[in-house]
Structure 1
Amino acid sequence: MSLVVYLAGAVLLLSAAVLFHRPQSATPNPLTASTCVTITLGATVFVCSAPVTLAAVNDLTGIPNFGAPLTYGMLSAYSCSVLILLAYWRGGPPARVRRQVLRSIALYAPLIVTLIVLFTLADAPTERLTDLDTYYANTPYMREMIVLYLLGHTAAIVAMAVVCLKWAREVTGLLRTGLLLMIVGALLDLLGFQLTKYTAVVARWTGHDLDFLSTNVAPPMAALAALLFSVGYVLPRLLPAAVAHGRGLRDHRRLRPLWTRVGFVSVAPKPPVSWWRLPEERLHWREVAIHDALLALAPYFDDRVRSRVLAAALGEGRTAHEARVAAEAAMLAEAARRAAALEEPCATPSTHRLHATEVSGTAGLVELSQALARTPVPGPVGEGTVKPSMAAESPPS
């Protein structure tokens, strides 16, 4: 059982770490912070509830079952953080959000204190690592502590489910998917964790034994519910960023043939090292540097090369656009060769504008790069027309 809850906690902490990772210059975001706090508290609850952790805490403090109020207090703090997260996520006037946050804290802070007081008043000398809820279900003060932590958690999950259900009717896309996952997680928590706990405790009150519901059914259901909560939290925020990162890495890689041919003449200043952390920033720098190189090579563009390749491509049955890109790639390759060989620019440079410079974004450059990759290298590429004192070193790929 300890391995299962530790694994669930590790997954939650990993998702929080990924979500909280951001450039050092980024402005702190209350929504991101509250999301990470909620996920971290959820992971802490799992770690605290593991029998190995409970035994270690009890031994360290010398108090039997001290791990119980610790775990229940963490669970109540997690319940409070869920409500705070929803307040920030839903948004609205700052004053209203602030009131909702303070109201949640005002409700759950006394609850946590009460749990500790009840445990202090109770007589629970026998250490129970897996069945404390049912073993002490009829013990004064312990009984009230168990019911109170369950009620506090139920209130938070029900409130979360209601808000998510109403909100899901108003939105679409990834946000709606995340909300639906949270609703499913809430149902699992309510039915798989809380209802089984309530049933097992009430069974003890009535003289029956349904302890297996509390010890065997509730923990894995709670773990699955928490994982669904976390996925619902982070999916609308991480997936678009992950897709953007993937697209940036792909385009950065596909621009390599073009950058290899023309990068030696670029004098675009290098960005700070920290910029190289994000694919979009690397791609943006490469795009700027390539445009700078194309501008430097413009005096070497030869219309005769372009016209010859254009006619040949059209004769091979290529479309007008494909033929144009192939012809521009050939003209660019020849210009890079002449610049690298320190030849003189063309007497009458071409005034033709490359397709890649007419369109926004990297699509045109990627298309030119792929065409250039199929164009034979006219000759060795070395130091070009830019003077060594002005030339920038070729950046890492």
Structure 2
Amino acid sequence: MSLIVYLAAGLFGLSAVVLLLRPGMALRDPLTLSTCAAIVLGSLVFVCSAPLTLAAVNSLTGVPNFGAPVTYGMLSAYSCSLVILLIHWRGGPRERVRRMVLRSVAAYAALIVAIVVLFALGDARSERLNDLDTYYANTPYLREMILLYLIGHSAATLTMCVLCVKWSREVTGLLRAGIRLILAGSLLDVVGFQLCKYTAVAARWAGHDLDVLSTQVAPPLASLGALLCSAGYALPRLQPAAAARLGVLRDYRRLGPLWSRVRFVSTAPKPPSSLWQLPRARLHWREMSIHDALLGLAPYFDDRVRERALSAARHAGRGGHEARIAAEAAMVADAARRAAAREEPLEAPSGYRLHATEVSGTGGLVELAQAVLRSPAEPAEPAVREGREGREGPEDREGREEGTVSTSHG
């Protein structure tokens, strides 16, 4: 049982790590900070409630069952953190939020003090690591202590359930999915943990024995509920990172047509073990290599090819920017064909700067790559082909055609 509880605590705590990936921003955001506090306290509850931890606490303090008020106090602190999380989640004027937070802290602090006092007044000389709730269910003062911690926790989780039902109707996307996971985890806590505890304790009051609900059923269901809640806390925070990662992968894939056309020109060193690189590093290397290849193709850039393609794009009804990108793609494709055919560079190459080299980021290269994808393997416009043939001899045309064939098979 201790292993299951420790595992739940570790997995629960991982969601706090996700929320604190940018600690500077997290510490300035009350909502993120309160969420992380709730997760950390929830993890500590699991650690404290494990039989191995209870035995260690009892042994260190020399007080039988001293781990019980520690665990119950920690659970009450966790319940308080849930209420504070709901307050920040709901929002409102800063003074009102601050006042409600202070009231919640005061209420649960009084509850924790009452738990400690009742434990001190009660008689708990027989150490119970698994069934203290039911074993002492009829013991004066300890009975009240058990009821207090259950009621305090129930108040927080039931409030969480009610507000999650309301808010899930008002939001969409991953935020709604996260709220629904929190709702599922809270309901599992209410039904699987609290209801089992209440039932087992009430059975003891009635002279029956349903301890199995408290000792065997409640702990794993509470662990599962906590895992669902932790997933719900982390899921909305993962959305921006996931979107950025998908954007990087999409840009890397969309640069493929341009890279396959100009890769033979690039002299950029290929990094070792590129297969295991992170997507952003792979995208950066592809950008760098394409820019290097475009620089190598610059002596083959022909303004006449670009101008004819630009004119054709405008006649086709394309806008100014779209026509420019299409013309640049035609010029790059033409330069790549002639470089692959090992033709001589132009005596007076173009000094034209591509749009992709004038803008920062990947957007310009992606536009050029998509235009190259739509650009045919041979010049589509007759005027472009005629202009090329007018400047080439028969040997040049033959060599270009052979280079194109060899490239397509290579």
Q: TM-score range by the shorter chain?
A: 0.7 to 0.9
Map of 1:220 onto structure 2: 220
Map of 1:330 onto structure 2: 333
Map of 1:349 onto structure 2: 350
TM-score by length of 1: 0.73
Of stretches 60-69 and 23-32 in structure 1, the one that deviates more from structure 2 is 23-32
Deviations 1:64-99 (A, max 9, x none): 111111111111111111111122223232222222
Distance 2:220 2:146 in 1: 19
Give the Å deviation of 1:148: 0.3
Q: 1:154-173 to 2 correspondence within 5 Å?
A: 154-173=154-173
Maintained 8 Å contact 1:130/1:215: yes
Deviations 1:173-217 (A, max 9, x none): 222222222222222111111111001101111111111111111
**Alpha-carbon spacing, 1:328–1:193, altered in 2? closer, same or farther (3 Å):** farther
Structure 2: tracts of 5 or more residues without a match: 269-276, 311-321, 379-399, 404-410
Deviations 1:344-389 (A, max 9, x none): 98625165855897995764255479899x999x9xxxxxxxxxxx
Maintained 8 Å contact 1:203/1:209: yes
**Alpha-carbon spacing, 1:187–1:329, altered in 2? closer, same or farther (3 Å):** same
Give the Å deviation of 1:283: 6.0
Structure 1: tracts of 5 or more residues without a match: 266-276, 311-319, 338-342, 379-397
Map of 1:29 onto structure 2: 29
Map of 1:152 onto structure 2: 152
Q: 1:61-80 to 2 correspondence within 5 Å?
A: 61-80=61-80
Maintained 8 Å contact 2:329/2:372: no
- Equivalent position amino acid for 2:65 in 1: N
Maintained 8 Å contact 2:38/2:78: yes
Give the Å deviation of 1:172: 2.0
Maintained 8 Å contact 1:123/1:139: yes
Map of 2:367 onto structure 1: 364
Map of 1:128 onto structure 2: 128
**Alpha-carbon spacing, 1:146–1:27, altered in 2? closer, same or farther (3 Å):** closer
Distance 1:226 1:262 in 2: 55
Q: How many residues align?
A: 353
Give the Å deviation of 1:151: 0.3
Maintained 8 Å contact 1:305/1:330: no
Map of 2:202 onto structure 1: 202
Distance 2:25 2:267 in 1: 31
Question: Are residues 1:47 and 2:50 paired?
Answer: no
- Equivalent position amino acid for 2:44 in 1: T
Which of the two has greater helix per residue? 2
Map of 1:231 onto structure 2: 231
**Alpha-carbon spacing, 1:368–1:154, altered in 2? closer, same or farther (3 Å):** same
Give the RMSD, CA atoms, in angstroms: 4.4
Distance 1:219 1:31 in 2: 28
Deviations 1:292-333 (A, max 9, x none): 9968976762246779999xxxxxxxxx99986863543565
Maintained 8 Å contact 1:251/1:362: no
**Alpha-carbon spacing, 1:97–1:26, altered in 2? closer, same or farther (3 Å):** closer
Of stretches 67-76 and 86-95 in structure 1, the one that deviates more from structure 2 is 86-95
Of stretches 27-36 and 186-195 in structure 1, the one that deviates more from structure 2 is 27-36
Q: Percent identity?
A: 60
Map of 2:93 onto structure 1: 93
**Alpha-carbon spacing, 1:33–1:298, altered in 2? closer, same or farther (3 Å):** farther
